[in-house]
A and B are shown apart, each in its own frame.
Chain A
């Protein structure tokens, strides 16, 4: 099976990427003024990097420190007995009990909604939050579950043959979002 690259569209360059993080951080602060009870939780792996950026942005602006954690959803996947490979399990780190906290779940791309469903199941094993919100960099549509994001960087209509790639400085050396068309020839 060979994958041929047909086209590539830049959705966010580095500047736009920074602005979006700044805006989402502002919206989170605006809707959650009680920062002591706010917990940012990134979904591994992409969501963790986005979470770190949002956390830094909020902390720098409000000169405070906010709770944060990471979640690996592998153990909660609904397709674990169907997929042909074993997803690598990363460690989940939730530093505090989530009872009555305001949780913002963070992921880079919102697609079918199944990852978010799994992440919510995981969160309930750590307590009963007052509220769970969802922040994503890109909403690319194709939902298979009734799930919507509260904070969205950009809604990008896509076809199922395309993929959205979010690059982080820490990981790939640059901040940007790219839409790729994967034309599969078998």
Chain B
């Protein structure tokens, strides 16, 4: 399965949209090797010694930021977290100036989360720093998609030819988009399931199948990915009430029966228990939510290793 002649050449990781199949598989395989380091007593390797990684988050985060920081530290790079409420952003500094200042301090990599779609690409074009998109608005969240793919591959034994349903607030979800792009590259079928306000018909243009009821959307699927209702990105008119939404689209022990017998249930977190997914199903054997989190560190180690080790190819004397 490994491509021995494959060479990673990207400076940044901005999304899964323009990643090739080879690049996705390379990152998954590298993450698999990184998992071994996480099982050791001494979880530290000297690979990125002397590199510095800055996280710049304009939106709250628990999992992504912590696991990026852990990943960087396990690879021995130095990490600095800039939390926006205590930074000069509150004094009116633009993200462009903030990044330029971080670059001037000779950091090597910046991990950005921002509520505007496309910010990380804009920044990547302006800086020599390696840029990792840790979520930009409703656009992309590539590291989440990669860890989801790794989890699916570990549970299903393959990551091609599967049927995956992504259920809920697809409209606002960068996780759904990154997963769709990556899963389609590997020849999987992707269903988007939810009310028409969250899953407009236009998503079919991206290659997804659109369903507005669970029974049809979950038929014969191997994986159900449940999304959180992103209240912070919505106005008022997307659904009448959480209770009514849950009545039609909540994934629980009875609605999950529409899917295959050996279906696994995923959620990128944070979870609204009892809304998009029932508490008992979240804590059941079918749920692999914490396995996703566990793989997050290995995937982010693979990303940082790929972006920060090695020179550009033209420097090579090999």
Which A residues have a C-beta under 8 Å from some C-beta of B?
Answer: 72, 74-77, 80-86, 88-93, 97, 121-122, 125-126
CB-based contact A125/B44 at 8 Å: yes
CB-based contact B45/A83 at 8 Å: no
Q: Which of A90, A91, A121 contacts B46 (CB 8 A)?
A: A121
- Give the bracket for the number of chain B residues in contact with chain A: 35 or more
CB-based contact B311/A80 at 8 Å: no
Q: How far is the CA of A90 from the CA of B2 in the complex (A)?
A: 11
Q: What are the residues of chain A within 8 A of B32 when measuring CB–CB? A: 91
* CB within 8 Å for A80 and B33 given contacts A85-B316, A88-B2: no
Nearest Cβ distance between residue B77 and chain A, in whole angstroms?
Answer: 11
**B window 43-80: CB within 8 A of A:** 44-48, 50-51, 75
Classify the secondary structure of A's interface with B: loop
Q: Which residue of A lies closest to B46 (CB)?
A: A76
Q: What are the residues of chain A within 8 A of B45 when measuring CB–CB? A: 75-76, 122, 125
Which B residues have a C-beta under 8 Å from some C-beta of A?
Answer: 2, 4, 7-8, 29-30, 32-34, 36-37, 40-42, 44-48, 50-51, 75, 305-306, 308-318
User: Can you spell out 10 A-B residue pairs with CB atoms less than 8 angstroms apart?
Assistant: A76-B47, A80-B309, A84-B312, A85-B313, A86-B8, A86-B310, A88-B29, A92-B37, A125-B42, A126-B40
Chain A-chain B contacts (Cβ-Cβ < 8 Å), number: 72
Nearest Cβ distance between residue B128 and chain A, in whole angstroms?
Answer: 15
Classify the secondary structure of B's interface with A: loop
Q: Which of B8, B33, B317 contacts A72 (CB 8 A)?
A: B33
Q: Which residue of B lies closest to A78 (CB)?
A: B46
Q: What are the residues of chain B within 8 A of A126 when measuring CB–CB? A: 40-42
CB-based contact B34/A89 at 8 Å: yes
Q: Which residue of A lies closest to B6 (CB)?
A: A88
CB-based contact A91/B33 at 8 Å: yes
Q: Which of B36, B48, B309, B311 contacts A92 (CB 8 A)?
A: B36
Q: Which of B47, B308, B310 contacts A84 (CB 8 A)?
A: B310
Q: Which of B37, B308, B313 contacts A75 (CB 8 A)?
A: B37
Q: Which of A74, A84, A89 contacts B318 (CB 8 A)?
A: A84
CB-based contact B309/A81 at 8 Å: yes
CB-based contact A86/B33 at 8 Å: no
Q: How far is the CA of A85 from the CA of B309 in the complex (A)?
A: 8
